[in-house]
Amino acid sequence: MTQLEQVKKAVAFLRKKTKNFQPEIALITGSGLAESVPQLSNKITIPYTTIPGFLRSTVPGHTGNLIFGVYKGRNIVVMQGRFHYYEGHSTKDLAISIRTLKMLGVQKLLVSAAVGSMDMKLKPGSLCILKDHINFMCNNPLIGNNHEPEFGPMFFDLTEAYDKKMRKIALAASKKAKINAREGVYFAVTGPNFETPSEIQMFKKLGATVVGMSVVPEVLAARQCGVSVLGMAWVTNMGCGIAKTPLSHEETIRETKKIVGKFKTLLEILFVKL
């Protein structure tokens, strides 16, 4: 089965389950942020495990549901948990969910993630609004998907991978929600281990602000098919060598729980303003 056939099968299943609900905005929640989703009316929750062709989320802090609903007149779909390269999925398959969302009608994608910071002005609890990224995963979800024009062109521009207008709105919304936020560059690594102190210093010299193990495959798939992207990276720790204590996923979950309320407030503003 081709990926296009997989996506069409998933779309047909979801349209039947949601009575042809057409979402405009999609949100992907990062580690520990599943409970930050604003209260949606007419909510329909569909586990990933029931959707044909969808991958399985295996990481703690990633619930594994697709949630459809309405927030103040805006049709929303939420990926409550994501898929990672380090889970053993091929990068090619990481594009399935994004392409499914696009085919359902999504025009704007909000990507959130927990990250380590290399900028002392962005300490734990702060938000980095992504203005660009550096792909150090040495792989790309678009490889091998060049025969399906429905997914978009093989060669496309990434001058504005992260929508400038949406970034401006997000910065203003962060201020209103009393969140320390700055723009920065996301450095994508494969994981699952955290980085070494020397790697963190190298990333800084290359122009990165924060580092994480996701986001970029989703953004590439979204931009290829014409979906506008807003990237929001929550700082849960300082990078290795900057942090004074050893890093752990448990710390990531612990720190994200502290900002769930603020992120929910931010999303309530963004769902209306975007």
Classify burial at 250, counting beta carbons within 10 Å of its beta carbon; exposed 0-12, middle 13-18, buried 19 or more: exposed
**Active-site residue, selected from the candidate residues 48, 62, 71, 233:** 62
Does 213 participate in catalysis according to the annotation? yes
Active site residue 133: no
pLDDT at 51 over 70: yes
| Residue-wise pLDDT tens digits, 123-135 | 999 999 999 999 9
pLDDT of residue 80: 92
CB 234 within 8 A of CB 115: yes
Mean pLDDT of the chain: 93
| pLDDT, position 247 | 84
Say yes or no to pLDDT of 35 above 90. Answer: no
Out of 213, 221, 233, 238, pick the active-site residue.
Answer: 213
pTM: 0.95
**SS3 for 151?**
helix
228 given a catalytic annotation: no
Does residue 89 carry a catalytic annotation? no
Would residue 249 show up in a list of annotated catalytic residues for this protein? yes
Between CA 160 and CA 230 the distance in angstroms is: 11
In angstroms, the CA 107 to CA 115 distance is: 25
Active site annotation includes 84 = yes
Please pick, among 57, 71, 84, 177, the residue that the annotation labels catalytic. 84
Annotation marks residue 86 as catalytic: yes
Catalytic residue among 139, 183, 249, 268: 249
Q: Is 36 a catalytic residue?
A: no
Q: pLDDT tens for residues 112-165?
A: 999 999 999 999 999 999 999 999 999 999 998 667 889 999 999 999 999 999
Sign of torsion over alpha carbons 166, 171, 175, 179: positive
Q: Which residue has the higher pLDDT, 62 or 77?
A: 77
Catalytic residue of the set 86, 140, 148, 183: 86
Sorting pLDDT into bands at 50, 70 and 90, what band is 273?
very high
Query: Which pLDDT belongs to residue 33?
Result: 82
261 CB neighbour count, 10 Å cutoff: 12
pLDDT of res. 256: 79
